[in-house]
């Protein structure tokens, strides 16, 4: 296609480029040869609707491979695997002539109740950022774009079109924006999707601080900002703020608003030129690789990758020995098995809403177990997934489940959340499994202790039965090959290696956002601040069901020789030798956390900073090298409004989970120089810590104290007078010191300190 610039277009043509032609397509400008391109939903598969369009998954779409949603894939903690899935998604997107796949979602799992948690990677920004960047690189390596979403602080579905996420600067930067920053800086997604919500009262779609100052000026984003579908509130304000492309079509209404704003002078035409230019750049980027990847799609290869990814997504939560024997898992192939639970036959493999994929095929766990087993396999649904089932039918299903379990060596019980309980568009009301399912579990446990629970859920669920069930498999939502992958893990063809990217709490009331979710009257207060997920549970020393980073294996791993050193770039290089001490091959996810005990600011006890997935044969040892980036040690200093690395002796913990620390070493980090401008509101403590003003004030206080005879008589013995004065405002010192510190002298001291000059000799 010809090289086109915005200067070649009329005002009306430029305005038209900044909104969709239809639900999924941009507008063409045929006069200059600019074609239309298609953007469509992901993230874990291509949802290309055959005709028409909707954003809630109600319309039929072309068949595509349904890979594990982020709740599963994130649990792999595997950068290479996520990249390979991204490549496969890129191939399918390119074959279907789609220009941009709308994903990944890297929003933080602030609350377990968020109905869209299945589409997000973690409660931790480093996990979300690192894996999100791998996804973007994989997809875009095939010549199609991604859309990093939902930018930003979009952590609930309730009132999502209007609610204001009211969040303080430090948690906003350190928790909710950090993952986005990592993806933008490391992977440069072609587009970023702004979210529906407001942030501290301002709609994300019209926030110049968010879309221009932070995203472009600070992070160096080079692409296009697209709205979530229907997220535009005020199109003129949005364009001026940096929101380039409105989706879907407004039937020309908002285009006319932009034209009118340029003509009446309320919007600079140069601003419109920039947005139109970004749309042109995106179209040209898409067209440059159009047609280079042709079909037909290798359905078998992509299904095999989906199966591999699903197996690596499964987390073995518990595998305790049973009376008179070892652990139940892996299953013996010749064991008599009772498979119980409707999810075994009717899998819940993806979330509801805009990310619903029409899979190319669908494996069920029941079929896969029957294929893998050599012993008898009986099946009982146990419960119904339908709504309004009467008590008689419920009781009959439960009795049949008990009968099946009674005649088996092991009962494999599939429990989970029906699609009606978690979806895009609304949040969950609790974290409990349905009562009828728990009743089936109780009834089965009454006749056998040999029970394996397999969970199907997009968000964490309470596990009040954890100590009564010897084996628990968290199988999440695993995509179209999840049934076969589950059987692979159950029988030991695949050694489980997934680990939790979110904490499983004991009860909802323990969760960080419990008292501040989902807000009221259009506002939700992020009252837990920095203490999201494991940061909260550690700070409050709360017991949890299963901690962040937890996941068992069919083998064991030993850690040795942990060491940490500072590189020439200021990063921390962590080395540790990991050995597979068991009898089967397996993978270990090595995690590195840091902490600074004597920090001048509030900090979590530990924060994840690096991780690696390592495959080891039985008996194999390997030195694993992980890098903690210096910038990831930084906190957001609200005094100077920038990132600051605090100097000090950092604890570096090498761990198998956030509560399974295998080794701790320390490393000294040089801090960034921070000089806060002084004012009359500065405390004496802040002034005395100032490199220039400090010595002057200390000398003045010593002189003042000499003239305050008898002050000791009114002070308790041992009281440090300077500690009492530490928070006293500088501007009020003259009230106490009189002529020894007049207002004029104080103003002179402030001016001298802020100018960076030392006092003259004898001053």
Q: What is the pLDDT of residue 738?
A: 58
Q: Are 399 and 440 in contact (CB under 8 A)?
A: no
Q: What is the pLDDT of residue 126?
A: 98
Positions marked active-site = 228
Tell me the pLDDT tens digit for each residue of 567-600. Answer: 999 999 999 999 999 999 999 999 999 999 999 9
Q: What is the pLDDT of residue 301?
A: 98
Tokens of 226: 């697209």
Q: What is the pLDDT of residue 708?
A: 52
C-alpha dist (Å) from residue 242 to 200, 209, 222, 233, 264: 18, 9, 12, 14, 20
C-alpha dist (Å) from residue 744 to 26, 324, 740: 64, 86, 11
**Whole-number Å distance between alpha carbons of 8 and 4:** 7
Tell me the pLDDT tens digit for each residue of 116-148. Answer: 999 999 999 999 999 999 999 999 999 999 999
**Whole-number Å distance between alpha carbons of 261 and 16:** 14
Tell me the pLDDT tens digit for each residue of 597-612. Answer: 999 999 999 999 999 9
> CB within 8 A of 179, min separation 6: which ones?
106, 108, 121, 125, 126, 128, 129, 132
**Whole-number Å distance between alpha carbons of 489 and 491:** 5
**Which secondary structure element, helix H or strand E, spans residue 71, and what is its range?**
helix 70-73
Confidence of residue 760 (pLDDT cuts 50, 70, 90): very low
Neighbour count for residue 643 (Cβ, 10 Å): 16
Tell me the pLDDT tens digit for each residue of 215-263. Answer: 999 999 999 999 999 999 999 999 999 999 999 999 999 999 999 999 9
**Whole-number Å distance between alpha carbons of 41 and 57:** 9
Tell me the pLDDT tens digit for each residue of 698-753. Answer: 776 666 656 555 555 555 666 565 666 778 788 787 666 656 567 877 888 888 87
**Whole-number Å distance between alpha carbons of 94 and 142:** 7
Q: What is the pLDDT of residue 710?
A: 53
Q: What is the pLDDT of residue 714?
A: 57
Give the per-residue SS3 of 656-706.
Answer: EECCEEEEEEEEEECCCCCCCCCCCCCEHHHHHCCCCHHHHHHHHHHHHHH
Q: What is the pLDDT of residue 761?
A: 37
Give burial (CB, 10 Å; 0-12/13-18/19+) of 531: buried
> How many residues are present in the chain?
763
Average of pLDDT values for 60-66?
A: 94
- pTM tops 0.85, yes or no: yes
C-alpha dist (Å) from residue 589 to 191, 307, 455: 31, 20, 22
Least confident of 421-425, 556-560, 646-650: 421-425
With 90 as the cut, is the pLDDT of residue 416 above it?
A: yes
C-alpha dist (Å) from residue 745 to 289, 325, 726, 739: 68, 82, 19, 9
With 90 as the cut, is the pLDDT of residue 482 above it?
A: yes
Confidence of residue 323 (pLDDT cuts 50, 70, 90): confident
393: left (phi over 0), alpha (psi -120 to 50) or beta: alpha
HSE value, Cβ hemisphere, 13 Å, CA-based, for 684: 19
**Whole-number Å distance between alpha carbons of 477 and 460:** 11
Average of pLDDT values for 450-464?
A: 98
**Whole-number Å distance between alpha carbons of 427 and 543:** 25
**Whole-number Å distance between alpha carbons of 531 and 538:** 9
Give burial (CB, 10 Å; 0-12/13-18/19+) of 520: exposed
């Amino acid at each position: 296609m010809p090289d086109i610039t915005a200067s070649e277009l009329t005002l009306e043509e430029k305005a038209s480029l900044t909104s969709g032609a239809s639900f999924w397509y941009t507008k063409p400008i045929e006069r200059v040869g600019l074609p239309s391109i298609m953007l469509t939903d992901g993230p874990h598969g291509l949802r290309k609707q055959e005709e028409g369009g909707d954003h809630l998954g109600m319309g039929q779409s072309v068949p595509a491979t349904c890979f594990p949603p982020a709740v599963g894939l994130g649990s792999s903690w595997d950068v290479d695997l996520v990249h390979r899935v991204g490549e496969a998604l890129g191939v399918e997107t390119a074959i279907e002539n789609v220009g941009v796949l709308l994903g990944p979602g890297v929003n933080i799992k602030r609350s377990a109740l968020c109905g869209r948690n299945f589409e997000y990677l973690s409660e931790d920004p480093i996990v979300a950022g690192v894996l999100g960047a791998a996804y973007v690189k994989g997809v875009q390596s095939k010549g199609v774009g991604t859309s990093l979403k939902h930018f930003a602080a979009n952590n609930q579905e309730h009132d999502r079109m209007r609610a204001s996420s009211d969040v303080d600067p430090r948690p906003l930067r350190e928790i909710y924006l950090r993952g986005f920053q990592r993806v933008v800086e490391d992977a440069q997604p072609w587009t970023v999707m702004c979210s529906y919500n407001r942030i501290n009262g301002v709609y994300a779609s019209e926030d110049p601080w968010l879309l221009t100052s932070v995203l472009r000026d600070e992070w160096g984003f080079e692409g296009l900002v697209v709205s979530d579908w229907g997220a535009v509130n005020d199109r003129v304000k949005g364009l001026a703020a940096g929101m380039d492309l409105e989706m879907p079509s407004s039937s020309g209404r908002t285009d006319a608003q932009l034209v009118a704003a340029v003509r009446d002078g309320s919007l600079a035409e140069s601003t419109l030129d920039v947005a139109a230019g970004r749309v042109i750049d995106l179209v040209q980027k898409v067209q440059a690789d159009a047609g280079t990847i042709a079909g037909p799609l290798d359905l078998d290869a992509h299904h095999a990758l989906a199966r591999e990814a699903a197996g690596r997504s499964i987390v073995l939560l518990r595998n305790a020995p049973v009376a008179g024997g070892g652990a139940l898992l892996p299953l013996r192939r010749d064991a008599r098995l009772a498979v119980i639970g409707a999810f075994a036959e009717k899998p819940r493999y993806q979330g509801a809403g805009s990310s619903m994929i029409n899979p190319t095929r669908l494996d069920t766990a029941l079929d896969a177990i029957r294929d893998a087993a050599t012993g008898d396999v009986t099946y009982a649904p146990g419960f119904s997934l339908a709504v309004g089932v009467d008590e008689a039918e419920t009781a009959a299903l439960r009795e049949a489940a008990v009968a099946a379990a009674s005649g088996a060596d092991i009962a494999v019980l599939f429990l989970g959340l029906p699609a009606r309980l978690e979806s895009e568009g609304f949040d969950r009301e609790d974290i409990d499994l349905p009562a009828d399912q728990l009743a089936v579990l109780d009834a089965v446990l009454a006749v056998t202790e040999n029970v394996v629970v397999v969970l199907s859920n997009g968000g964490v669920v309470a596990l009040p039965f954890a100590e009564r069930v010897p084996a628990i498999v968290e199988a999440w939502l695993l995509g179209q090959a999840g049934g076969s992958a589950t059987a692979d893990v159950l029988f030991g063809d695949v050694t489980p290696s997934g680990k939790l990217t979110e904490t499983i709490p004991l009860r909802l009331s323990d969760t960080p956002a419990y008292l501040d979710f989902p807000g009221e009257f259009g506002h939700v207060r992020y009252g837990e601040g920095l203490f999201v997920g494991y940061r909260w549970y550690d700070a409050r020393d709360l017991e949890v069901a299963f901690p962040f980073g937890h996941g068992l294996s069919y083998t064991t791993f030993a850690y040795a020789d942990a060491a940490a050193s500072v590189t020439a770039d200021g990063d921390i290089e962590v080395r540790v030798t990991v050995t597979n001490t068991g009898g089967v091959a397996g993978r270990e996810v090595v995690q590195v956390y840091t902490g600074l005990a004597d920090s001048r600011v509030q900090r979590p006890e530990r924060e994840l900073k690096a991780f690696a997935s390592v495959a080891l044969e039985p008996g194999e040892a390997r030195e694993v090298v992980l890098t903690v980036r210096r910038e990831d040690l930084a906190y957001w200093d609200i005094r100077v409004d920038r990132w600051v690395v605090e100097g000090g002796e950092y604890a570096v913990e090498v761990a198998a989970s956030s509560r399974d620390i295998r080794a701790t070493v320390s490393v000294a980090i040089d801090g960034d120089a921070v000089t806060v401008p002084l004012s009359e509101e500065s405390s004496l403590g802040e002034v005395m810590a100032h490199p220039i003003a400090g010595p002057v004030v200390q000398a003045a206080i010593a002189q003042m104290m000499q003239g305050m005879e008898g002050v000791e008589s009114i002070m308790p013995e041992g009281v440090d007078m300077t500690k009492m004065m530490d928070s006293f405002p500088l501007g009020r010192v003259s009230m106490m010191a009189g002529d020894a510190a007049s207002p004029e002298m104080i103003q002179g001291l402030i001016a001298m300190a802020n100018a960076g000059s030392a006092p003259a000799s004898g001053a």
